[in-house]
Amino acid sequence: MFERIEIFDKRYAELNRRLYEPSVAADPEEYQKVMKEIKSMEEIVLTYRDYKKAVQTERDSLEILNDNSDAELKELAQMELDDAKTQIEALSEQLKILLLPKDPNDERNVIIEIRGGAGGEESALFSAVLFRMYSMYAERRGYQIEVLNANETELGGYKEISFMINGEGAYSRFKYESGVHRVQRVPETESQGRVHTSTTTVAVLPEAEDVELEINPADLKIDTFRSSGAGGQHINKTSSAIRITHIPTGTVVECQDERSQYKNKDKALKVLKSRLLKEKQDAQASEIAADRKSQVGTGDRSERIRTYNYPQGRLTDHRIGLTLYKLEDILNGNLDEVIDALVTADRAEKLRESMEQGA
């Protein structure tokens, strides 16, 4: 393990020296490229350097304990030795996690698509609740939100809504949200006060970069139509809405959020590219690991991942058996506790698999 990290350490030092070379400093594109590589390995290198300091402290303390008769000095050395051993154990575990293969999509922007499922209007209303939750969470983390397409209902819900979240590491935080979200509550439209169960599906897509996916314009069928909505001011009188069909795969994307046909087309193409990239990556992942079943699902939109129970104020994530009785707080955008638990479980599973493969 440490041989690999030594290579990172040397590369990190080399890249930091390169930052001061005139040719790099004068080339903004090259400078950004070097900075990006430095940042990608910074955490593991700095953790490794802390580990080496702790190992050196352990050696120095042992030397004092073995070669010195001063009782007070030996007591101090023993305290430093105990602290160093604790640090070495913790940093060693942290390095194992940092060496795990990283998801190449983690630093990307993300496109989220929320669609009403079983439950009719109640499902659409809960889609709006989820959109609000994700919007508030994104705002807390300093991310920017851009609505790409929305199909509203008369009561303020969404039959479907797609939006982009822009920010460093956005995909790494939202990727665990893909799947079926189940809600149990008394609907506003229910006069008898009975608890209903409905579902909403969430799809999470990493934003595709233009260089990754080439789309032949001849493979696209582009239609324009008038925007539709909940009525009144929501309905556009011009044909500015865009529908793009990718003929080879049958993938259809609509965008009607903007008044400009050009802007709607641009947004629809972003979503289309991201969907096609996700399908391509999922197919590759299935080929590579056909017999592997990860504990924490991050991509199957048919998997029931979570239940929101309003009468009990309870949220349960079924993938990791997490139950929290702070539903209102979570729906107000305080998602970190849930997502951190999913990240920890995912890392633990990957670490276990890595150890099994190395055994």
Q: Would you state the pLDDT for residue 358?
A: 56
Give the other-Cβ count within 10 Å of 358's Cβ: 7
Distance CA 68, CA 262 (A): 79
Radius of gyration in angstroms for the set of CA atoms belonging to the chain, rounded to a whole number? 26
Q: For residue range 83-92, list pLDDT tens digits in order.
A: 999 999 999 8
Q: For residue range 162-180, list pLDDT tens digits in order.
A: 899 999 889 999 999 999 9
Strand order across the 304-309 sheet: 144-152, 158-166, 110-116, 196-206, 179-185, 304-309, 314-317, 322-324
At 227, the pLDDT band (50, 70, 90 cuts) reads low
DSSP-derived 3-state class of residue 146: strand
Burial of residue 314, with CB atoms counted within 10 A of its CB: 0-12 exposed, 13-18 middle, 19 or more buried: middle
Judge whether residue 108 has pLDDT over 80.
yes
Q: What is the CATH number of domain 110-287+297-348?
A: 3.30.70.1660
**Which of 133-142, 294-303, 340-349 is predicted with the least confidence, judged by mean pLDDT?**
294-303
Pairwise pLDDT comparison (340 vs 256), residue with the higher score: 340
Domain range summary for the chain, segments of one domain joined by +: 2-98, 110-287+297-348
Q: What is the CATH number of domain 2-98?
A: 1.20.58
Judge whether residue 66 has pLDDT over 90.
no
Residue written as token pair 């990791």: 320
Q: What is the mean pLDDT of residues 48-60?
A: 93
Which amino acid, residue 52? K
Judge whether residue 258 has pLDDT over 90.
no
